[in-house]
Structure 1
Amino acid sequence: MAGDRSVIPVILHYPDAASQMSDLAEIVAGDLREALAARGRATLAVPGGTTPGPFLTALSQADLDWANVAVMLTDERFVPESSDRSNTALLRATLLQGPAAAATLLPFYREAEAPEHVLDEIASGIAPHLPIDSCVLGMGADMHTASLFPGADRLAEGLDAEGNATVLPMRAPGAPEPRLTLTAPVLRAARNLHLLIKGPEKKAALETALAGDDWAEAPVRAVLKAPAPIQIHFSD
Structure 2
Amino acid sequence: MNLKDYPDREFLMIELAQKLAGDLNTALMTHDTVTFAVPGGTTPGPVFDALSAVDLDWSRVQVLLTDERWVPETSDRSNARLIRERLLQDKAAKARFIGYYDGSDLSDAGVAKAAERIAPLLPISVLLLGMGADMHTASLFPGSDQLAAALEDDAPALMAVTAPGAPEPRVTLTAQALKSALAVHILITGRDKRDALEQAVALDDPMQAPVSVVLGAASVHWAE
Instruction: Specify the TM-score bucket, using the shorter chain as the normaliser.
Output: over 0.9
Q: Is residue 168 of structure 1 aligned with residue 159 of structure 2? A: yes
- Structure 2 counterpart SS, 1:211: helix
Alignment coverage as a number of residue pairs? 224
- AA of the residue aligned to 1:210: V
Name the CA distance, whole Å, in 2 between partners of 1:116 and 1:84.
Answer: 25
Q: Which residue of 1 aligns with 2:206?
A: 215
- Structure 2 counterpart SS, 1:38: coil
- Structure 2 counterpart SS, 1:143: coil
Q: Which residue of 1 aligns with 2:81?
A: 89
Q: Is residue 231 of structure 1 aligned with residue 224 of structure 2? A: no
CA RMSD of aligned residues (A): 1.0
Structure 2 residues not aligned, in runs of 5+: none
Cα pair 2:98 2:118 within 8 Å, conserved:
yes
Cα pair 2:149 2:155 within 8 Å, conserved:
no
What is the TM-score with the length of structure 2 in the denominator? 0.97
Name the CA distance, whole Å, in 1 between partners of 2:144 and 2:102.
Answer: 22
Stretches of 4+ moved more than 4 A in 1?
none
After superposition, give the CA deviation of every residue in 1:106-162 in whole Å (9 maximum; x if it has no partner): 1121111225341111111111111111100000000000000011121111111x2
Name the CA distance, whole Å, in 1 between partners of 2:133 and 2:48.
Answer: 22
Q: Which residue of 2 aligns with 1:20?
A: 12
Q: Which residue of 1 aligns with 2:52?
A: 60
What is the TM-score with the length of structure 1 in the denominator? 0.93
- AA of the residue aligned to 1:218: A
Cα pair 1:151 1:172 within 8 Å, conserved:
no
Structure 1 residues not aligned, in runs of 5+: 1-8
- Structure 1 counterpart SS, 2:113: helix
- Residue 46 of structure 1 deviates from its aligned partner by 0.7
Paired residues for 1:80-229 under 5 Å: 80-160=72-152, 162-225=153-216, 229=217
